Structure 1
Amino acid sequence: MVFEQVATGGCQSYLVGCEQSCAAALIDPEISQIDHYLGLAARHGVRIRYLIDTHTHADHFSATRELARQLKVPVVMHRASPAPFVELRLADGEMLVLGKLRLSVLHTPGHTADSMCLQVEDRLFTGDTLLIGATGRTDLPSGDPEALYDSLFNKVLRLDPALKVCPAHDYKGRTHSTIGEELATNPRLQKRERAEFVAMMQNLNLTMPTHVTEALRTNMSGGKTVARLLAEAGAKVPFMSLAELKARVEAGEDDLIVLDVREREAYEAGHVPGARLLPRGQLELRVNQDLPDPTRRILSCCELGYISTLAAATLRDMGFLHAVALDGGMKAWREAGYPVKAGKEP
């Protein structure tokens, strides 16, 4: 069996495949590791046939939809998943076939309603249902401590104690455990009475994951993350350095329109000399009256360089093919000691 484990911070994802048929599945892929996954598949000479999320993730961004677009293969989740882009929905007791491998599904709600575990030969991919030394939390959307108790004590923990536990998260550098080890040493599994287990889960008082709202939004809907929007915008616009803009401002060149896309208050507190104000939120509505000549060279700037990148990309989409963005923002401009003018537009 082809097997690769990829750690991204505390997130764990897995490539499993059949050497004879060269068919593989990717389990719980993370968006920043796409090139890594493709490289691993190429190195092993396998083709990724299935992209699997064990549940709707709330703490990182899944790569399943983007990889599905690139590879033209289905996204696989439990049938309770709310994501509209899931093409293959599995139920308890069903399996996926990868050559000689069989990926058996165990529906294990609790962390989320759509949580499932996958057994492949001697390994159990537990998602966030069972972690090494812990369990998945139950205080996020669709979490249910009663359901988690049943999933653990009436399903997962009744499997072969020698099965290797491969979770979707581990923050201590551990690669796997076993069912037997978890039964013996996992503190949460020592609460074996339903009431005490549920009470424990309801009083963990854990902090919310970073980007929880954005992660749930994108993983449930297939929408784009802010990072992806910025990356896509940055890939289609050129940039101008702070020093180059300073030189052009000092030379008094009039072939460059400097467009400050911040709000008025920020602009009036200090802007690049000669810059025009056109807030990003009004760009599409005012562009025809404020920028009547689409052949002009336009440089957008903002406070940190992110909004100006989006603005330059929008301008290019609207036909301003000479739009560029400032590499950096007004914060970097001020810190460099470059000239700033306060007050309203001239």
Structure 2
Amino acid sequence: MIFRQLFDSVSGTYSYLLASRKGGEALIIDPVLEKVDRYLQLVNELDLRLVKAVDTHLHADHITGLGALRDKTHCVTVMGEQTKADVVSMRLADGDKLAIEGLALDVIYTPGHTDDSYSFILPDRVFTGDTLLIRGTGRTDFQNGDPRQQYESIFGRLLKLPNETLIYPAHDYKGETVSTIGEEKAFNPRLQVKSMDEYVEIMNNLKLSNPKMMDVAVPANMKVGLHQDDIAGRGWSVTAEVALALVGRPDVALIDLRENAERERHGVIPGAIHLPYPRLQENIAAGGMLHELARSTGKRLLFYCAFGERSAMAVQAAQDAGIASARHIHGGIDAWKKADGPLVR
């Protein structure tokens, strides 16, 4: 496994780049906007291909790099399903897998610092966001934070991992880079409590000032979605209502870009071809399956995904590859459900 821990000294944020060598797929956790060029330089130096950019929660102390990384690499943006962000490509739920080629992280919902906080687990390490810090825990006094929920997230879930599990948090302000579950059990002062009520008492009396960037970062981080109106303005999108009339037509091929877990949870538009987004480029290139489908049969390609972000990028890529008939469903399955579109499981 390729693993890099990167630091933004202004916000005290750690970002993590992970990959498994074979095809070079990589993901990054908690990227910072100002460091995007550095991340991309490292990705290039290591001969990797960034396919997912993930935030553990909606950050209040820095502006996320999710949108910039998506715009520069066409990667998939990922957050938990509770996020208040306008659009991310993929929303994860407790029990899901965050997967790229060669790596699969267990997804666990760990609210308390915020109501959209998640942690991600590999066999030997856990990425805890702001839920569990090194010799500390994330504050619980804004963004629907809740010290009782955080106590359950920490004591009921994270601290049940093996003692040797490495802890990689989203922040540190004292120069610490890594800890373990066992160390935090023994030495984290906020964990030396005898009850939930004692923990709540500590967290409710921290009297911390708001993060300096909060008034800027939170609104910015809620507006990270791809501007699908730009694609619509070029005539490359259809509404869910228009798409309803296209389902089943012999001259239209529906292309589902989502991953298997998303399809299983939310259902599939009847008759759709499953082609996961990471395989798009090989299929729209000359000689690829979608390129040939459009060229030899004259079918119009209609892409869709969860919220329209992956499909908007797909239709742009297809147009660039010369597939002039390509369109996508604006708003994805989310819009399809609101239009009472049929789904099968």
Same fold (TM over 0.5): yes
Q: Which residue of 2 aligns with 1:155?
A: 157
Does the 8 Å contact 1:163/1:178 carry over to 2?
yes
Residues 1:112 and 2:118 are matched in the alignment = no
Residues 1:56 and 2:47 are matched in the alignment = no
Q: Which amino acid aligns with 2:175?
A: G
Residues 1:98 and 2:109 are matched in the alignment = no
TM-score of the aligned structures, taking structure 2 as reference length: 0.63
Q: Which residue of 1 aligns with 2:49?
A: 47
Q: Which residue of 1 aligns with 2:179?
A: 177
Please report how far the alpha carbon of residue 158 of structure 1 lies from its aligned counterpart in structure 2 after TM superposition.
0.4
Q: Which residue of 2 aligns with 1:3?
A: 3
**1:299-318 equivalences in 2 (<5 Å):** none
User: Larger Cα Rg: Structure 1 or Structure 2?
Assistant: 1
Q: Deviations over 1:169-198 (max 9, x none)?
A: 001111100011000000001124010001
Q: Tell me the SS of whatever aligns to 1:182.
A: helix
- 1: CA distance between counterparts of 2:93 and 2:99? 14
Q: Which amino acid aligns with 1:155?
A: R
Please report how far the alpha carbon of residue 213 of structure 1 lies from its aligned counterpart in structure 2 after TM superposition.
1.1
Q: Which residue of 1 aligns with 2:38?
A: 36
Does the 8 Å contact 2:111/2:150 carry over to 1?
yes
**1:189-200 equivalences in 2 (<5 Å):** 189-200=191-202
Q: 1:167 aligns with which of 161, 169, 186?
A: 169
- 1: CA distance between counterparts of 2:67 and 2:122? 23
Computed over aligned residues only, the root mean square deviation of the Cα atoms, in angstroms, reads 1.4
Please report how far the alpha carbon of residue 211 of structure 1 lies from its aligned counterpart in structure 2 after TM superposition.
1.8
Please report how far the alpha carbon of residue 99 of structure 1 lies from its aligned counterpart in structure 2 after TM superposition.
1.6
- 1: CA distance between counterparts of 2:216 and 2:102? 38
Q: Tell me the SS of whatever aligns to 2:99.
A: strand
Please report how far the alpha carbon of residue 2 of structure 1 lies from its aligned counterpart in structure 2 after TM superposition.
0.7
Does the 8 Å contact 1:101/1:121 carry over to 2?
no
TM-score of the aligned structures, taking structure 1 as reference length: 0.63
Q: Which amino acid aligns with 1:85?
A: V
Q: Which amino acid aligns with 1:6?
A: L
**1:1-346 equivalences in 2 (<5 Å):** 1-9=1-9, 10-222=12-224
Q: Which amino acid aligns with 1:73?
A: C
Does the 8 Å contact 2:93/2:109 carry over to 1?
yes
- 2: CA distance between counterparts of 1:123 and 1:19? 19
Does the 8 Å contact 2:66/2:224 carry over to 1?
no
Does the 8 Å contact 1:78/1:114 carry over to 2?
yes
Q: Tell me the SS of whatever aligns to 1:183.
A: helix
| Runs of at least 5 residues in structure 2 that lack an aligned partner in the other structure | 226-345
Greater CA drift, 180-189 or 93-102? 93-102
Q: Deviations over 1:194-216 (max 9, x none)?
A: 10001110001111111211111
Q: Which amino acid aligns with 1:4?
A: R
Please report how far the alpha carbon of residue 60 of structure 1 lies from its aligned counterpart in structure 2 after TM superposition.
0.7
Please report how far the alpha carbon of residue 120 of structure 1 lies from its aligned counterpart in structure 2 after TM superposition.
2.3
Q: Deviations over 1:31-52 (max 9, x none)?
A: 1101110011111111111000
Distance 1:191 1:66, change over 3 A: same
| Runs of at least 5 residues in structure 1 that lack an aligned partner in the other structure | 224-346
Does the 8 Å contact 1:25/1:48 carry over to 2?
yes
Does the 8 Å contact 1:65/1:85 carry over to 2?
no
Q: Which amino acid aligns with 1:5?
A: Q
Q: Deviations over 1:240-267 (max 9, x none)?
A: xxxxxxxxxxxxxxxxxxxxxxxxxxxx
- 2: CA distance between counterparts of 1:188 and 1:38? 37
Does the 8 Å contact 2:124/2:165 carry over to 1?
yes
Does the 8 Å contact 2:118/2:129 carry over to 1?
yes
Q: Which amino acid aligns with 1:209?
A: P
- 1: CA distance between counterparts of 2:43 and 2:34? 16
- 1: CA distance between counterparts of 2:4 and 2:123? 15
Does the 8 Å contact 1:102/1:121 carry over to 2?
no
Give 4+ residue runs of structure 1 displaced > 2 Å after superposition.
Answer: none
Does the 8 Å contact 1:116/1:127 carry over to 2?
yes
- Corresponding pairs, count: 224
Distance 1:76 1:192, change over 3 A: farther
Please report how far the alpha carbon of residue 156 of structure 1 lies from its aligned counterpart in structure 2 after TM superposition.
0.5
| Identical pairs, percent | 44
Please report how far the alpha carbon of residue 221 of structure 1 lies from its aligned counterpart in structure 2 after TM superposition.
2.2
Please report how far the alpha carbon of residue 118 of structure 1 lies from its aligned counterpart in structure 2 after TM superposition.
0.5
Q: Which amino acid aligns with 1:54?
A: T
Please report how far the alpha carbon of residue 21 of structure 1 lies from its aligned counterpart in structure 2 after TM superposition.
2.8
Q: Which amino acid aligns with 2:13?
A: C
